[in-house]
Structure formats: C-alpha cells, structure tokens
Amino acid sequence: MLRTQRRPFAIVLLVACWATGASAQDTDAAVTPDQPSLFAVEIRIGKAWDPAKPPQEQAYFREHSANLRRMREAGALIVGARYSDIGLVIVSAATAAEVRAQMDQDPSFAAGTFVYDVHPINVFYPGELKARARP
C-alpha cells in the first residue's frame, strides 16, 4: 500500500520538472517570471555571400564577429556553435524583439552577407557544454 501512495507523487514530480525545465535534482529551484528567456538564433549565409571568398574575407565579417563578441561580453550570448553551414547562438533576452535588436546591430545582416531566424527555446535538459580544442 505504501508503494502505490508514493508512485503518484513521483509522477507529479517528474511532470513538474518536465513542465518547468528543472532537472530531477533541481526540484526546489524557483522559476521566476522575470527570468530572461532563451532563444536559438540560426545564422545562414545570405544573398551577398561570395562563394569565391573564405569566410574571413566576406563583407562585414569582422563586424559580425565584433557583434557576437559584444553580445558575449554583455552576457546575452550564452552559447555559440556551428553545424553544417549554419551558425547557432543561444541568446538570453526578455523577448524575441530584444534578440532581433541585438542581432540587427550587426551590419552583415543588413548587407545580406548573413540572414538569421530567431526561435524561442524551452530547455528540458540543461546539460553542460564544453568547448573542444580547435585543430
């Protein structure tokens, strides 16, 4: 009898963790409404990308790198990565409009060197990322 009484509690606890994004070990952490949201920003090459040039020689590439560095130093850029021909940055902000305002400070988007899409994300497993040494 005691076992069946504990099982519903465990199921409710797991569902609560899933719904809030908390891990099973972090069940006492409070989720506050004023906590910034996370957004995935996918960055792709735009119409002005010149396939004959390497990335570092593309129009506004230095400014693009400087904007990402500025966002990182301000604490807004949480993770930056690349897969295939796509750049991916995870940005902490109150709204998607705030993310767009940060990204639009980068002249490479206005010039068409790159384009981007913003997607709200809900982290269900926080995990841990470690940078690998570059070859």
Given a cut of 90, is residue 52 above it in pLDDT?
Answer: yes
Token duo for residue 22? 């908390």
What's residue 127's pLDDT? 86
At residue 10 the predicted structure's pLDDT band, cuts being 50, 70 and 90, is very low
- The gap between the terminal CA atoms of the chain, to the nearest Å, is 59
In angstroms, the CA 113 to CA 45 distance is 6
67 Cβ partners below 8 Å, 6+ apart?
A: 102, 103, 105, 106, 108
Structural domains present in the chain: 1-30 (no CATH), 37-121 (3.30.70.1060)
What's residue 35's pLDDT? 72
- The string of pLDDT tens digits covering residues 29-50 is 334 456 789 999 999 999 999 9
What's residue 26's pLDDT? 37
In angstroms, the CA 117 to CA 134 distance is 27
Burial class (CB in 10 A: 0-12, 13-18, 19+), 23: middle
Which pTM was predicted?
0.71
Given a cut of 70, is residue 56 above it in pLDDT?
Answer: yes
Given a cut of 90, is residue 4 above it in pLDDT?
Answer: no
Specify whether the CB–CB gap between 117 and 41 falls below 8 A: yes
Q: 107 in helix, strand or coil? A: helix
